[in-house]
Amino acid sequence: MNVSVRTSSGAVLPASVGADDTRSRLLHAGLEMLFERGYHGTSIRDIAVGAGVQSATLYGHFASKEELLAELIVLGHEEHHRRLIDALMDAGTDPRDQLRALVSAYVTGHAEFAMLAIVANAELSRLSPEAAAPARLLCDRSRELLMTVVSRGVRQGVFVMDHPEITINAIASMGTSVALWYPPSADHLDVGVVCDTLSELALRLVLAPTP
Amino acid sequence: MNVSVRTSSGAVLPASVGADDTRSRLLHAGLEMLFERGYHGTSIRDIAVGAGVQSATLYGHFASKEELLAELIVLGHEEHHRRLIDALMDAGTDPRDQLRALVSAYVTGHAEFAMLAIVANAELSRLSPEAAAPARLLCDRSRELLMTVVSRGVRQGVFVMDHPEITINAIASMGTSVALWYPPSADHLDVGVVCDTLSELALRLVLAPTP
DNA sequence: GAAACTCGATCGATCGATCGATCGGAGCAG
DNA sequence: CTGCTCCGATCGATCGATCGATCGAGTTTC
């Protein structure tokens, strides 16, 4: 499991970002600014100051302000998708265990990278269609994973749903919302407890009633 | 000389906004622009053009760009809170019926005013603390309504939960997410069906297992 | 005619982006 | 080792465009 890179600011990025070079500091500063003030509310000068460089230096690492945001968003969706895959690899063959694994991956990912998750979802619409395409693809892939697990459970008769699409949306929203409410109350709630609780709640939504 | 320029608007506001005067058109145009480009990405000139007036005219109806956004956000949270109250009034005394009523109010409100709901939630953090205070108050009140219904159900032994806060967050996120996914697929899914489905899903999260 | 409303023009500030100049370390020649 | 070149990274300065906001004059309404 990857170790996350933490800066003094609370802006946490996946380890794939790498060392504490200028590019990494620009991404961290950019994430923090984009989280606090949004895309159009953040100037490249703000980001540069946060990274301890001049604004012109940014263009030595990114073609444009939009490309920096696109890079952050793809990072977020990549990390999320990777965690879902990893979770399924260790989950065995029981649809119940697979759903628990997916929800736990949602929770841990959105708790650990709350800032990144919020920015990746909220600011995706600020990108041009071309710049947003890679992230949208990853987003669809992640959703398909959830859909696949649920459909398989239904086919095996373990899960029963009137409207699978609605139920999947409900489960996904439960998972993503962790990024919004967990961080402020992280001091009195363990991540593992949230994982177990939300996993059981998700199971209640899909499980066939026991006779 | 006023020409009624109806934008291709999916920008829907509560009836309390009133007639088709300049102020109303500014709010509608503002909502649409804020939804598409965000607060800092929307200029007062964009809003004015959308409303068919000059940018200076905006300041005859709002003290600042921020006040226009604050007005929209409060409108959204007021409408949401009012609908929750109304729903409870007609729900009787059974906690199950009350929870169904609340979830249905979430669904209908976030389906009918999807744009407003998204803007009201996403752009709230762009407001200064003073400007955001009224909306935050309404937000807390709405959450308290949900918490009150659930707590009452627990006290009566109808509901059982390990972690009420997590469960309430899950229910609320299920409801608010309707604004994100329902509109694009509105053509093949009735609002009433979504209400019934999500209400039953919410009940599964809190209902004590029947022996 | 008073009041409310809207307009065109314009303010200083800040935006994203670009430019040539400068810095510092790696590599090579002797 | 010294002296030199080279090159990517970074800097300070600056571009045209656009930002939120303001003003006085013109228009509409009653």
Q: How would DSSP label each residue in B30-84?
A: HHHHHHHH-TTT--HHHHHHHHTS-GGGGGGT-SSHHHHHHHHHHHHHHHHHHHH
pLDDT category at B37 given cuts 50, 70, 90 is very high
Nucleotides of D strand lying within 7 Å of any protein CB atom: 9-14, 18-24, 27-28
Average pLDDT, chain B: 91
Give the residue among A205, A199, A4 at the shortest CA–CA distance from A102: A199
Residues of A in contact with B173 (CB under 8 A): 173-174, 176-177, 180
Give the residue among B115, B121, B177, B103 at the shortest CA–CA distance from A166: B177
**Chain A window 42-61, residues with Cβ within 7 A of nucleic strand C:** 42-46, 55-56, 59
**How many H helices and E strands in chain B?**
9, 0
* HSE (side-chain half, CA atoms, 13 Å) at A110: 25
Give the residue among B180, B105, B108, B172 at the shortest CA–CA distance from B143: B172
Q: Check whether residue A66 has its CB closer than 7 Å to nucleic acid strand C.
A: yes
pLDDT tens digit string along A66-107?
999 999 999 999 999 999 999 999 999 999 999 999 999 999
Distance between the alpha carbon (CA) of A43 and the C1' atom of C14, Å: 9
pLDDT category at B211 given cuts 50, 70, 90 is low
A201 and B166 in contact by Cβ < 8 A?
Answer: yes
Distance between the alpha carbon (CA) of B119 and the C1' atom of D18, Å: 24
CA of A21: how far to CAs of A27, A43, A51, A131, in Å? 10, 21, 10, 25
Give the residue among A54, A48, A55 at the shortest CA–CA distance from A32: A48
Angle at B83 between CA B82 and CA B85, to 5 degrees: 65
List the single protein residue with the shortest CA to C1' distance from C15: A43
Q: Report whether A104 contacts A134 (CB < 8 A).
A: no
Q: Is the pTM of this model over 0.85?
A: yes
How much is the pLDDT for B186?
Answer: 67
Distance between the alpha carbon (CA) of B146 and the C1' atom of D29, Å: 49
Q: Considering just the CA atoms, what is the radius of gyration of chain A in Å? A: 19
Which residue from A41, A174, A181 is facing B40, i.e. has the nearest CB? A41
| Host H or E run for residue A6 | strand A5-6
Going residue by residue through chain A, which has 211 residues, state the pLDDT in tens, using 9 for 90 and above.
Answer: 434 443 445 788 888 877 778 899 999 999 999 999 999 999 999 999 999 999 899 999 999 999 999 999 999 999 999 999 999 999 999 999 999 999 999 999 999 999 999 999 999 999 999 999 999 999 999 999 999 999 999 999 999 999 999 999 999 999 999 999 998 776 689 999 999 999 999 999 999 776 5
